[in-house]
Amino acid sequence: MRKTLSLAVGLLIIASLVLAAGTALAAGTLTMGTNAEFPPFEYVEGDDVVGVDVEIAAEIAKDLGLDLVIENMAFDSVIPALVSGQIDIGVAAMTVKPERLNSVDFSNTYYNARQACIVRKDGKVADEETLAGAAIGVQNGTTGDYAAEEYSQTIERYAKALDAVLELAGGKLDAVIVDAPVAQNILDALGNDDLILLDNIAFEDEFYAVAVPKGKPDLVESINKTIDRITQDGTLDAILLKYFPATEGEE
Ligand code: GLN
């Protein structure tokens, strides 16, 4: 009787440990967390999440012999999901930032981007001076959000950059700061001639990498091997060309 009881208690403890680990990672899969609102890096097409990052993650999964599973979430949930063990890797056009290195590790980088500032042609923002103090829209928790803080305290934070751009078009905001490739993609998709990109704001270079839970050097090494391979064998260029057809070689 005593034995049965301690066995039951033991099983209960094991069950709660498994639950505490979050969505226990299924064997044979590599779960990628991303925010599929960031074209062309990740976006929803029909029932699928597609984009540059999805293709890179598929190469990583292939080299590891695992099936790729995608979890779509808010951008600012990706790091917490890595920390809690809900996902294996974060592939979300994520810029390597010293603050983020406190919570996660990063692979080698695979893309060089920078921020861009979208404004209305007839709006009040035309340069760094007029950006100061303006109403700036950003995607919550992104490097665009941090960049906006350098210029203004009037910041509106959105789950999607597209929503911020629509508010800018509608006159509710003076500017939107978002990663340049995504800014261009959104402007191309909207085809609104009133919206332009400023080229006179000094933003820093940013580098995207795959985020990994801390303390997994083997996983980081495998990811780096895949990034090296796809860089050398032309796969990465082919992926970029597929999603940036008009801006060949922009890397
Ligand atoms: N590169 C930006 C960052 O890391 C934006 C990423 C995103 O919104 N998916 O904060």
pLDDT at 136: 98
Report the atom number in ligand 1 closest to the C-alpha of 97: 4
CATH 3.40.190.10 assigned to domain 114-205? The reply is yes
pLDDT at 250: 46
Nearest CA residue ID for atom 5, ligand 1: 142
CA-wise closest residue to 25 among 76, 77, 61: 61
Report the atom number in ligand 1 closest to the C-alpha of 208: 1
Task: Give ∠ CA 212-159-140 in degrees, rounded to 5.
Answer: 65
Exposed (0-12), middle (13-18) or buried (19+): which is 246, by Cβ within 10 Å? exposed
Pairing of strands 104-120, 195-198: antiparallel
Report the atom number in ligand 1 closest to the C-alpha of 95: 4
CA of 111 to the centre of ligand 1 (A): 12
pLDDT at 17: 42
2-112+207-247 belongs to which CATH class? alpha beta
CA of 230 to the centre of ligand 1 (A): 22
pLDDT at 2: 52
Question: Which parts of the chain are beta strand (E)?
Answer: 29-34, 37-38, 42-45, 48-50, 67-72, 89-90, 104-120, 136-139, 155-158, 175-179, 195-198, 205-213
Low-confidence stretches of the chain (pLDDT beneath 70): 1-26, 246-251
CA-wise closest residue to 226 among 28, 50, 61: 61
CA of 16 to the centre of ligand 1 (A): 34
CA-wise closest residue to 225 among 105, 92, 56, 88: 56
Asked, colleague to colleague, whether 2-112+207-247 and 114-205 share their fold, the answer is: yes
Instruction: Please tell me if the CB atom of residue 115 comes closer than 6 angstroms to any atom of ligand 1.
Output: no
Q: What is the pLDDT of residues 22-67, one digit of tens each?
A: 444 668 999 999 999 999 999 999 999 999 999 999 999 999 999 9
Instruction: Please tell me if the CB atom of residue 95 comes closer than 6 angstroms to any atom of ligand 1.
Output: yes
- What residue segments make up the domains of the chain, in order of their start? 2-112+207-247, 114-205
pLDDT at 116: 98
Report the atom number in ligand 1 closest to the C-alpha of 206: 1
CA of 91 to the centre of ligand 1 (A): 10
Q: Are 83 and 149 in contact (CB under 8 A)?
A: no
CA of 178 to the centre of ligand 1 (A): 8
